[in-house]
A = this chain, B = another copy of it.
Amino acid sequence: MPALVKTALVGATGYAGFELARLLMRHPRLSKPMLFYREREGSHPENLAEVFPQVAGNGSCELEAFAWNRLKNAGLDLLFLATPHEASRELVPQAIEQGLRVVDLSGAWRLKDSRNQQVYGFKDDATAAQISSKAVYGLPELQGEHIKAAAVVANPGCYATSIILALAPLVCGGLLDVNHGVICDSKSGVSGAGKQPSQRTHFVEVAENLSAYAVFGHRHTGEILEQLGLAAEQVVFTPHLLPIPRGILSTIYVRLNQPTTVAAIEERFRAFYGGKPWVRVFASPKLPEIQFSLRTNFCDIGLALAPDGQRLVLVSCLDNLMKGAAGQAIQNMNVMFGWDEREGLH
């Protein structure tokens, strides 16, 4: 039996961080993870169960304020960051300096193109530019080989994952008329907006409502462009805020280069994702629904084709805290250590 791998997580008290903490605690290849919150005024929880009573009664899960010296001599194999992108921009260079491998769940290191990075307002910085150039986009279905050897894995955005996985088999196969344009209409549960209270996440503002936001300006757009090799003029991405706690459904509208059949498209998807355990291709006319992938690491993809055989509607669903965040982070770790991608995710 191989030695257990040692991990630490900074940011265990956010929604994605908590989900990741739970996954790390029960992953069979890992020793007990070190769980940290970032220092804040006020509360100083000493156990994850103080913040999330959900996990009480499952053994101890100590929680500490993060400090680098806590990692000294810990024999750490992998560091997870579930921190805001500003914090990740600071923490990752320090981690690299200490020779640590990192999976970062924020948007800090996902983008290569400086035009796409502009929405984040990062400072110009030579070290950061160097890290950025080497960071690998952590979508195992597309970047598996690069993830294996990566020092920094930038865990993808939740919306981006649902859209890229639905489009990749068609874009990579050159089947799309990309100049016609790709329309991505996405709907997400509220946990995607984070745990920080705001007017926008107030129950009364979300319940009984639906709203579009950040049209032509959402940060995940750059990920879609870069991963699929598309130009900004070719993609429209409209996110919407759904009155549910979690889950994403993306409805994607594309035009195929030439008329084809549902069977041929499904075959293309099945071939593309053959052996990939976390993508489920639905058989037409059955379409994915948010509830099917909730609390799993699956990305579900289905489709409907117009009678003309060219206008195609793709429906893609995933759980924004799992395949859209914590689950994908675990999957990335599995790839980094050469384990089965399903390890710890059942």
Contacts and interface: CB of A to CB of B under 8 A. Distances in A.
A153 interface: no
Contact of A199 (B58, B197, B204, B243): B197
Interface of A: 15, 26, 53-54, 56-58, 180-181, 183, 185, 187, 190-191, 195, 197-199, 201-213, 215-216, 232-233, 236, 238, 240, 242-247, 249, 251, 253, 255, 277, 280, 282, 286-296, 298, 300, 304-308, 311, 313, 315, 346
B187 A187 contact: yes
Nearest to A211: B289
Contacts of A308: 233
A244 B207 CA distance: 7
B212 A290 contact: no
A248 to B, nearest CB: 9
A290 B305 CA distance: 29
Contacts of A292: 53-54, 56
A208 B208 contact: yes
Nearest to A56: B280
A54 B185 contact: no
Number of copies: 4
A209 B245 CA distance: 10
B204 A195 contact: yes
Top 5 A-B pairs, shortest CB-CB distance? A215-B304, A197-B197, A211-B289, A185-B185, A209-B291
A75 to B, nearest CB: 27
A54 B243 CA distance: 19
A92 to B, nearest CB: 27
6 contacts: A54-B291, A191-B204, A208-B247, A210-B242, A232-B307, A253-B253
A311 B236 contact: yes
Contacts of A255: 181
Contacts of A203: 190, 201-203, 206-207, 243, 245
Nearest to A234: B311
A195 B202 contact: yes
A213 B287 CA distance: 8
